[in-house]
Structure 1
């Protein structure tokens, strides 16, 4: 008699039809299914929707581990039901990645403020209430240069704004130009007071706003550093167009991003960043946020913009976001690293049990 292989549920969002039709082969995570099976696991789909919560909970309580790919915001749906469900599964002794409590520490924009002292940080401010935001975010502050405002939880550029001072028209008020990072956005001129009122919703349910200086090298592209636990497993490089002001006049359509070019962890141009992530910045983040190695997500990424060159002319890197909830697409090497990390985590769990 042989022991059954450990069951690993892979969770993503879909409706009942998608749940009924899902197999390890017919979805975008098929490479992850393949690599998990190759190291001796029995991976299975676990398509989630709020209407299916009881059914999904029953399934997850019957497996050994859970890997989750669900965005915080998706066509108006949130993780309000999913996160308590995952906490219940974890409390029952199942390994869950990423755990909702870990997401709240490192997968929100507030991490930019909490880790601003780390080498990836810049002048970062935090507004916890609308009153604080209205009192502090004043025209004289904007006169020093454009700022980028970010709501605490979101994805796809929602609630991320480039804000620039335009002028003070006759009759009072302060005109600003705002550009949201989500796809197809175009600049809008608006009174500062009206824009601040528009942001009131970002403070609901314990939300906040993070405020950073705009990075002038943004048009040079963004580097996405893919991590499995504390190991770099690849890089993605992309000429992003979010927050890049399109040309004015006729034909000033929203700019479209270039393709994301994937690179292995060994790619030479990124070795300085790799070393800093593995030996300095990730350990410092863990210490600051109180995250143990065993709780780091199986897959996560850190997005960097180029900062000003240092005194020797070398590139510096500015963290603009950490993604934890639903990291995909991923480099070709990442599925095998996910499987390796899962095997290691479950082995550690069995030894400590």
Structure 2
């Protein structure tokens, strides 16, 4: 890689949540993002790590306004914290001309579970529904469970398997078996009691997505990593519970096996993603390729085999808010994508400033 010919170095803030009680304490992000920092430095980018605290949002805002771009790694939910203060600040920074990846509005469009409903007819979807209120959940979910197929209920905005459950109702009863994705813990309880537990998920405009359980989840999950509209790698994740265990798998272990974008086993998936699903998803969501983050991923489970015996793929979520780790072999592509986006943002700001300066001179003459 060679440094780009800019008069002054592009400056990129790498943002993650820190601990306000130990602001100097290193986090896992410093280690995991070192390869990306090195790739950015090789391209002539000045990297500014920013440990974000809600209590110091104004200070973070000022630091980001001094940069050409900001890449952000902050989960929607973590240790009782959300992004209710961070997202408005990022919108303000982006409105000032700083490139933000991922922009909060892009996260809402494609990085929540609701995207499973909006894109279910693309070819990667399954039997999926959206409950916009607790009343809708209480009214519609029992009939779907009574049909005999297990369902997976997912909080619309969350991470790490929080508030994701496989729910199955015993025939001719009102008793459900509930398995938590975060821990694989299983319990049996009355359906009404489980639904009542879900009421809090609808607070502050929350929603719940209901997707048919995919029986091949025990064979693992394939994570398709992208930078902008290009696939840059794959990851494989396998269940905590082994295939054939007495309790069927649902949640995935944290370990991932990374593969390059050219991995032959995922060639069909890559072509479908780049040439078919992604362009149509952008159209459905009202997004453009330029809106896509510098790093994001789509998680797939294996669906039913087709008539030729080939695997199909079912989307189970898109991750945009905090994609870590990602394949080392994708680092250079991610860094180049960030440079291109920051350079465009700087060019727009400079053009706007030049136009304003010219207007000011003309008004004064």
Pair in the same fold by TM > 0.5:
yes
| Aligned partner (choices 275, 284, 290) of residue 288 of structure 1 | 284
SS at match of 1:333: helix
Deviation at 1:220, TM superposition (A): 0.6
| Aligned partner (choices 33, 54, 57) of residue 29 of structure 1 | 33
2 CA distance for matches of 1:113 and 1:254? Answer: 20
Structure with higher helix content: 2
| Aligned partner (choices 107, 129, 134) of residue 111 of structure 2 | 107
**Alpha carbons 1:246, 1:255 under 8 Å: kept:** no
**Alpha carbons 1:303, 1:322 under 8 Å: kept:** yes
**1:161 equivalent in structure 2:** 165
Deviation at 1:16, TM superposition (A): 4.2
SS at match of 1:27: helix
2 CA distance for matches of 1:298 and 1:27? Answer: 19
**Alpha carbons 1:234, 1:334 under 8 Å: kept:** yes
Gaps of 5+ in 1: none
1:235 aligns with 2:239: no
**2:295 equivalent in structure 1:** 299
TM-score scaled to structure 2, two decimals? 0.88
TM-score scaled to structure 1, two decimals? 0.91
Q: Quote the RMSD (CA, aligned, Å).
A: 2.5
**2:98 equivalent in structure 1:** 94
1 CA distance for matches of 2:251 and 2:58? Answer: 43
SS at match of 2:262: coil
**2:217 equivalent in structure 1:** 218
- Deviations along 1:172-201, one digit per CA (max 9) or x if unpaired, are xx000001110x341110111111110011
**2:179 equivalent in structure 1:** 179
**2:344 equivalent in structure 1:** 348
**2:334 equivalent in structure 1:** 338
2 CA distance for matches of 1:227 and 1:82? Answer: 24
Q: Please identify, of 92-101 and 21-30, the stretch whose mean Cα deviation from structure 2 is larger.
A: 21-30
Deviation at 1:32, TM superposition (A): 1.0
**2:207 equivalent in structure 1:** 208
